[in-house]
Amino acid sequence: MFIKAALNGSRSKADHPDIPVTTAELVAAATSAVLAGAGAIHFHVRDHNGKETLEPQFVNEQVKAVKAAVPEIPVGISTGAWIVPDISQRLAYIREWEVLPNFVSVNGHEAGFERIIQAILDKKIGVEAGLNSAQAAANFSSSGLLKECFRLLIEPEEQELTAALATVKAIEDKLTDKQPHQTVVLHGFDITCWEILKVAKYKGYDLRIGFEDTLLDPSGAIAESNESLVKAAFHWS
């Protein structure tokens, strides 16, 4: 069973005191998640004030530290448009990265995602296709870039389970050009997280869990850590 641990997302310590934002906290969270069984690590890079960033200084620092802590495990980061809304600046930052993640996620619903993917591929970094809707999947397919992605992320954002599962089906129906080598991760957020994890297991998809996706364990209690969420995901059915 493959589980990717999503350590922080856009959340802050106001959401949970153990959301990792500093380099030391990310290293500790990644290490414990891997010891719990995570097969990949995903996080959102933060600056020294805890704000999300793609600035080379902080990408280099945090990616280097996390990769050194879990050297056998692929490490990825987000390129979400909200982190650096100006796409020219985002591209400039990406081109200046020196310590490279193993992969990044690129969202198909964001304007200019094709340019971001090309910049990432130029640096020989793997790309995950972020698919939160049928339109995002259609955007990837029409761009011809879906085949360049090694992993497809089906990630419905609806907080009502029936609606979220309808989005999953709509995305799947658009993935007619999925390649045999491509893996699929299915995950939900907050209210739908644990039920969609069950669906992912049933479908034979890979899993994602962590504080980015939920602050609660399967019982509905506040989760202790990313590590505890990874452990719970292995046994949840």
The beta strands (E) that lie in 60-187 are given as: 75-78, 103-107, 126-131, 151-154, 183-186
User: So what's the pLDDT on residue 188?
Assistant: 98
- Count of CB atoms within 10 A of residue 129's CB? 29
Q: What's the token pair of residue 173? A: 């129906």
Rounded distance between C-alpha atoms, residue 7 and residue 140, angstroms: 26
Q: Of all helices (H) and strands (E), which one includes residue 42?
A: strand 40-43
Per-residue pLDDT of the chain in tens (237 residues, 90 and over written 9): 899 999 999 999 999 999 999 999 999 999 999 999 999 999 999 999 999 999 999 999 999 999 999 999 999 999 999 999 999 999 999 999 999 999 999 999 999 999 999 999 999 999 999 999 999 999 999 999 999 999 999 999 999 999 999 999 999 999 998 999 999 999 999 999 999 999 999 999 999 999 999 999 999 999 999 999 999 999 998
Q: What is the pTM of this model?
A: 0.97
Q: What's the token pair of residue 55? A: 């600035």
- Do 3 and 208 touch, CB atoms closer than 8 A? yes
